Amino acid sequence: MTPDKYNDCGKGIPYITGASNIENGIVLINRWTEYGRAFAYCGDILLTCKGTVGTMAVLQEPQVHIAKSIFSSRIVCGDCGSYFGSKVRNSTSKYRRVIWQCNGKYKGDHKCTTPHLMEEEIKAAFLAALDGLLAGSETLLEDCSFMYDTLADVSGIAAECESLADEMETLSIRIERLITENATTVQDQDEYQQKYGRLERQFESAKRKYAALEEKKKGNLS
């Protein structure tokens, strides 16, 4: 939408452009437009798919214009091959409605014969197709749950590995410092050997735990 089609003084309906309008799951309104074409309504889930991907919010506004509908570039004209686009009919009356028709319907000499579609019809067809896709996937939720648990478990292992890596680095510094002090100052060698042995055992223990966790993480992801 070009700048002349939106404003910042509250005229028209809110205009949502993307992730910049969503903060902590709340939709922020700073633009409005009187030329809305793609709409979302109260209760709809807004999910960004460009730039910052995956930012999400549940819409509380009665109606907003969104930069792109989920159906954009999805419906193809069976006559000329162009995509369908949304159009607004009777925009200023109570009979206002959103339809989808071929973007190339009136371009050139050939007029496409495909009829327009009501947005409600498209939504119903989408849900019917989704139901059909999921009909034979009784284990889908179980698979998703398993993957979630696996990734969550791997995340916990990664945190433990990071903690052990920090511990090994600290122990390594302490061992080097102990060796340097022993080389530059007179010390009781029995006491030195005890300190060195204790730090070395702690380091080797952390190293073994780290290696075991790395193997476990690889096993979970394989």
SS3 148: helix
What mean pLDDT is predicted for residues 177-199? 91
Burial of 122 (0-12, 13-18, 19+ CB in 10 A): buried
Type of residue numbered 194: Q
* pLDDT tens for each residue of 81-98: 888 887 777 766 777 777
Which candidate, 57, 59, 2, 62, places its Cα nearest to that of 33? Answer: 2
pLDDT value for 6: 86
- Rg of the chain over all Cα atoms, to the nearest angstrom: 31
Q: Percent of the chain having pLDDT more than 70?
A: 81
Helix 140-184 × helix 189-221 angle, to 10°: 160
* pLDDT tens for each residue of 117-174: 887 888 888 888 877 777 766 666 666 666 666 655 666 777 788 888 888 888 999 9
Confidence of residue 101 (pLDDT cuts 50, 70, 90): confident
Type of residue numbered 156: G
Confidence of residue 199 (pLDDT cuts 50, 70, 90): very high
